[in-house]
Structure 1
Amino acid sequence: MTTCPYAHDYPFGEAEALEFDPTYARLRAEEPLARIRMPYGAEGRLATRYADVKTVLSDPRFSRAAVVGADVPRAIPEKIDRPDTITNIDPPEHGRVRRLVASAFTARRAEALRPRVREVADGLVDDMLASGSPANLVEAVAMPLPVIVICELLGVPLADRDVFRAGADAALSTSKVPAEERQAAMADLQRYIGSLVADRRARPDGPGDDVLGALISAREEDGDRLSEAELVSLGVAILVAGHETTMNMTSDMVLTLLAKRSRWEALVADPEQVPAAVEEMLRITPLGRHAGLPRIATEDVELEGGTVHAGEAVLVSTIAANRDPEVFDEPEELHLDRGSSSHVAFGFGPHHCLGASLARMELQTALTTLVTRVPTLDRAGEVVWRETALVRGPAELPVRW
């Protein structure tokens, strides 16, 4: 391991499509806690080894709450300024909020939704086939499936999807989108969720039995409940995270499989392999455009890759961690039958993705439906990539059958 005398500019560059920048692998081997400098904010550290990434994500000495208002390294000009957001609070307060919402996103509840998700997926494929080849898979299946599911789960009118899609795009946009545009779209989304909460509270028969209604009614044993700001923040987070990543990952999976026809054919021949294939593609797909949310060390912490000093900001690359040769054999190779779910694509520790079980089920259902209903699916033209999103995925994925 070597120590670089200067900070690396980060992100390293604009990787094409779903390429993985080789700089991550070099740093993981030579500078596992590299100093980085982002477009805005102070310098920080980038953790790239699997063990260190898991420690930073789970050790309470690395604080998310401390980043609020701090000049941490970041891709956009605005500082993080939402202390009431579930991603920006630490235990034990984080545990209080998470407990009030976690029951809606258990593996058992996700599994109970599978028949409905299968029904939605079948209907979308029916419409795509009826419209004829070619089609844009993003608009036909990848986007509407998670949108319909999260709308039904949260209790949001599907007719309003243009409102929250604009807010979602703003929430997950890069600095290429003007700050005023991002802020206006997010403010619109927050007002929208706030109006839904107010309408639900005013219902004479109660707020409803969907997730939004459950959040409004949720109480802990001591009578504690979510504040108005927490309700709006959670509603926004669930609505955005509940469809954006799944939408992009669905398209990315199909692209990955069609890039080597034998992969697609293997799942067509044996759809029972789909769950293992989904896990492997979650591991290897560089879904995020760069590292995740920063944390600040509240004291000096010794990691395998070196020392993080108190006050330093640390970002983690789960993508680099998921390709760590100390953990995964042939980490750069896609093995659809690897069958390991030890990846950290959904994070780790107290902030582990609440919707992981739901996302897994939706991805499995979408892919199973496609390989069984459209076995001859293939690309039909050039892919148009979304260029302003923090999550990598196509805007247009032309397919034929």
Structure 2
Amino acid sequence: MTDPLQDPRFLQDPYPAYARLRDAAPVQRVRTGSDGLHSYLVTGYAEARAAFTDPRLSKDTARFFAGRPSGRELHPAVSQTMLASDPPRHTRLRRLVTKAFTRGSVERLRPYIQEVTDGLLDGWAPGGEADLVEDLAAPLPVTVICQLLGVPEADRAAVRGWSDDLFASGEPARTDAASHALAGYLAWLVAAKRSTPDGSLLHDLVRARDGEDRLTEDELLSLAVLLLVAGHETTTHFIGNAALALLQDPGSLARLLDEPEAFAGALDELLRFDSPVGIATFRYSTEALTLGGTPIPAGVPVLISPGAANRDPVRFAGPDGLDLGRDAGAHLAFGHGIHRCLGAPLARAEGEIALRTLFTRFPRLRLAAPEQEPVRRRTRLMRGLRSLPVTW
């Protein structure tokens, strides 16, 4: 199979391609680059779940690419985050971060998330139009994670721009430049938090310890980058995808409007139906293995697709339909195993508050151009919308 990114239809709707791949084999070798690079793509649910926890599939990208010229100039703080590491380093870093990023802290953030959501929606004029992505789905999680990390309001627009550029698929120079701009800014911010404590998450990370073990400067910077980017990109796409799914399914939306408290229970199915992560971040085989009946040699890239796995009919009956009564708690939108998204509780809180508030305040919300296909972002990793015009 050729690189799916070369086919505009894949970016708009990858699910037919995922289904064809999965029907042929839940794990198979595909071309994933114009330079002839091949990877093993995992599209089956059982196989994806197994791959997420298989210790023979490493996330240590620095080790994989050592001695291999890439032609890229990504800043190490972006290319070598906690996500790109294995135990014991990953275990240590995650433990240090978790101390400053607990479920309790997310619960304490809920009033602030509600306040930000209300403030954004207050700007939606009666009988008007808005871009649901630009006017809610994007600014909400950016504002929350910047507040949590202690990013000054005056800098947040620039931070969002650099983060967006990191996912500019097909534009490596733009991505590399953004990685250096973002890392440079966060290095300055870390120094500012060290000299002027403010109780932010970033300041907590400066102080975080595991016994006598502190984060090094490089580790602190890479964690700051990871939390900032991961703390809003996926949530933006989750809110946008979920809102679109509900707007295209008036029956499901009407049932939620009858019981607004049911929005929290609908999150798992909305995440399963259109996962904000299409293909998870890079892994490679450290030794030969067999997955889903497919032999995988040592030393090759392995890509796991939560988007495909969440539509596997072997695990979810009628997977191409939105069913808010479905028990979808086993979805893989947040990954699985030791690398499961650390920020999942925050993403769920933001998604639930945003969707419930949006549709209860604007019960007659509808797509401004229902006959047009929504414009998707050009990235294989994330599945999200560039814009979503709505009216009411």
| Alpha-carbon offset, residue 276 of structure 1 | 2.5
> Which range is displaced more, 12-21 or 84-93?
12-21
Judged with a 3 Å threshold, the aligned counterparts in structure 2 of structure 1 residues 52 and 111 are, in CA distance, closer, same or farther, namely same
**Other structure's SS at 2:174 match:** helix
Q: Secondary structure at the match of 1:291?
A: coil
Q: Equivalent residue for 1:303? A: 291
CA distance in 1 between counterparts of 2:386 and 2:6 reads 23
SS across alignment from 1:180: helix
Aligned pairs (5 A) from 1:210-249: 210-221=200-211, 223-249=212-238
Structure 2 residue aligned with 1:3? none
Q: Which amino acid aligns with 1:227?
A: T
- TM-score (norm. length: structure 1): 0.89
| Cα shift at 1:91 | 0.5
- 1:54 CA displacement: 1.6
Q: Which whole-Å CA distance do the structure 2 matches of 1:333 and 1:126 have between them?
A: 33
Tell me, yes or no, if the aligned pair for 1:44 and 1:313 is still in contact at 8 Å.
yes
The amino acid across from 1:70 in the alignment is F
* 8 Å Cα contact 1:84/1:229 also seen in 2: no
Question: Does structure 1 residue 275 correspond to structure 2 residue 285?
Answer: no
Give, in whole Å, the separation in 2 of the partners of 1:119 and 1:81: 35
| Aligned counterparts of 1:361 and 1:98: Cα–Cα separation in 2 | 21
Equivalent residue number for residue 398 of structure 1: 389
Superposition pairs of residues 146-165 of structure 1, within 5 angstroms: 146-165=141-160
1:3-60 deviation digits (Å, cap 9, x = unpaired): xxxx544447223675233222122222222111112463221111112212221121
Q: Indicate whether 1:350 and 2:350 are aligned.
A: no
In 1, Cα distance between equivalents of 2:296 and 2:366 = 47
Aligned equivalents of 1:29, 1:398: Cα separation in 2: 35
SS in 1 for 2:96: helix
SS of the aligned residue for 1:128 comes to coil
1:117 to 1:66, Cα distance in 2 relative to 1, 3 A: closer
What secondary structure does 2:326 align onto?
coil
1:29 aligns with 2:23: yes
Cα distance in 2 between the residues matched to 1:344 and 1:212: 28
Is residue 367–residue 389 contact of structure 2 (8 Å, CA) maintained in 1? Answer: yes
Equivalents in 2 of 1:331, 1:279: separation in Å? 13
Say if 1:138 and 1:394, in contact at 8 Å, map to a contact too: yes
Unaligned runs of 5+ in 1: 1-6
Q: For structure 2, list consecutive stretches of 5 or more residues without a partner in the other structure.
A: none
Deviation at 1:373, TM superposition (A): 1.1
- How far the C-alpha of 1:213 sits from its partner, in A, is 0.6
1:1-400 superposed matches below 5 A: 8-11=2-5, 13-15=7-9, 19-39=13-33, 40=35, 42-66=37-61, 68=63, 70=65, 78=72, 82=76, 84-129=80-125, 133-175=128-170, 177=171, 179-203=172-196, 207-221=197-211, 223-288=212-277, 290-381=278-369, 385-390=375-380, 391-400=382-391
Mean Cα displacement is larger for which, 112-121 or 290-299? 290-299
Who is 1:4 aligned against? none
> 2:73, 2:176 within 8 Å by CA — same for their partners in 1?
no
Alpha-carbon distance in 1 for matches of 2:32, 2:106? 38
Greater CA drift, 148-157 or 211-220:
148-157
> Residues 192 and 81 from structure 1, CA distance in 2 versus in 1: closer, same or farther, beyond 3 angstroms?
closer
For 2:215 and 2:209, the matched residues in 1 are separated by 8
Q: Indicate if the aligned counterparts of 1:47 and 1:53 stay in contact, CA closer than 8 A.
A: yes
How many angstroms apart in 2 are the aligned matches of 1:217 and 1:388? 38
**How many angstroms apart in 1 are the aligned matches of 2:207 and 2:164?**
29
Deviations 1:165-222 (A, max 9, x none): 12111222201x2x2222222111100000001111122xxx332210110000101x
- The alpha-carbon deviation at position 344 of structure 1 amounts to 0.5
Q: CA separation in 2, counterparts of 1:79 and 1:193?
A: 18
Q: SS of the counterpart of 2:178?
A: helix
Taking a change above 3 Å as real, the CA distance of residues 100 and 368 of structure 1, as seen in their structure-2 partners, is same
* TM-superposition CA deviations, 1:347-370 (whole Å, max 9, x none): 111111110110011000001101
Aligned-partner SS, 1:253 = helix
The one-letter amino acid of 1:125's match is: L
Kept in 1: contact 2:257–2:363 (CA 8 A):
yes
* Alpha-carbon separation, structure 2, partners of 1:337 and 1:226: 44
User: TM-score by structure 2 length?
Assistant: 0.91
Matched residue count: 385
- Matched-pair contact (CA < 8 Å) for 1:52–1:304: yes
Distance 2:134 2:269 in 1: 25
The percent identity for this pair of structures is 41
Change (3 A) 1:71 1:386: farther
Three-state SS of the structure 1 residue aligned to 2:65 is coil
- Partner SS for 1:399: strand
Q: Distance in 1 between matches of 2:67 and 2:270?
A: 31
- Contact kept? 1:42, 1:71, Cα under 8 Å: no
Q: Summarize the Cα distance change of 1:208–1:65 in structure 2 as closer, same or farther, 3 Å threshold.
A: same
- Looking at structure 2, the residues matched to 155 and 53 of structure 1 have their Cα atoms a distance apart, in angstroms, of 36
Query: Partner letter of residue 194 of structure 1?
Result: A
Cα 1:318–1:348 change in 2 (3 A) is same
